[in-house]
Amino acid sequence: MTSPPTPGPSASYASSQRLAQIGLAINAVLAVVKLVAGLLGNAYALVADAIESGTDMVGSLVVWSGLRIASRDPDERYPFGYGRAEALAGAVVALLMLGAAAGIAIESIREIRTPHRAPAPWTLAVLALVIVVKEVLAKKVLQAGAAHGSVAVAADGWHHRADAITSGAAFVGITFAVVGGPGWEVADDWAALVAAGIIVINGGVLIRTALSDLMDRAPAPVIHDTITAAAMGTSGVQAIEKLKIRKTGTAYYVDIHVQAEPTMSLHEAHILSGRVKTAIRHCVPAAAGVLIHMEPYEPTEGI
């Protein structure tokens, strides 16, 4: 069976932190550009987009900090490491998305109820640039999140994509407002309101994923199957009695009961358990901890 692409925790955290830093710099530039363009171009959807970029900046800082904490080695106070900080960072980013969406929705409704001038046509060029930049960044970050199994990085990627969605909605709304003429001025405000709804949906999905990791939800079946195959493929292993896996940050902790020949000596059983542990870590490099319980193999006789 082909093992899943799960690099070791240290490499995952290092590359993820670099992505968070890049995202932070890009968000800072885009937030300023969108805010200035929105105010000068009379486009509230663009101002709302700038607010979303602002929360992206905070989100990238949270992810960066969470990954730095999660990358610390286990110690006496935290013998299983600091990996939970990664899931906590993902939950915080999701909450930031929900908060930003609520703020955008409230202000959009206020703008819809207040007559105002149509946005300037040149703001569309700004939005087109933002959409391209944010979608490219979102794809790279989401790919890294999937490759490393990182909830926080995935949340950061969806935060970037939420910004691209907001910009896309603003582009559509401003286009209607500019092309439609008098009476269509509120189109960009409605676009901002729709974008807020999309962000709420994405934020809800992300916070559910983060909470699932914090509650030790079982990992994807491919991880379970890969570990099972690695253990069963070790010479001397007769069967697997139990297998429990929990995810902490980007690392996995494995608790497995392996059955072997009952007449095996304690020394031989110890050597076999070491070979099983090596096989599991070879197939799943992200397995930071593997606890092997050796049990006597007692096949159940047929009735």
28-56 per-position pLDDT tens digit: 888 888 888 888 887 776 777 777 677 77
Task: Decide which of 133 and 16 is more confident.
Answer: 133
Confidence at residue 11, expressed as pLDDT on a 0 to 100 scale = 54
Confidence at residue 112, expressed as pLDDT on a 0 to 100 scale = 82
Q: In this structure, are residues 133 and 30 in contact, taking their beta carbons and an 8 Å threshold? A: yes
Confidence at residue 240, expressed as pLDDT on a 0 to 100 scale = 94
Query: CA 209 to CA 250: how far, in whole Å?
Result: 13
Residue 124 token pair: 């569309």
Average pLDDT on 58-75 reads 80
Average pLDDT on 210-214 reads 83
Query: CA 270 to CA 211: how far, in whole Å?
Result: 37
Q: Specify the pTM.
A: 0.67
Confidence at residue 300, expressed as pLDDT on a 0 to 100 scale = 66
Confidence at residue 143, expressed as pLDDT on a 0 to 100 scale = 82
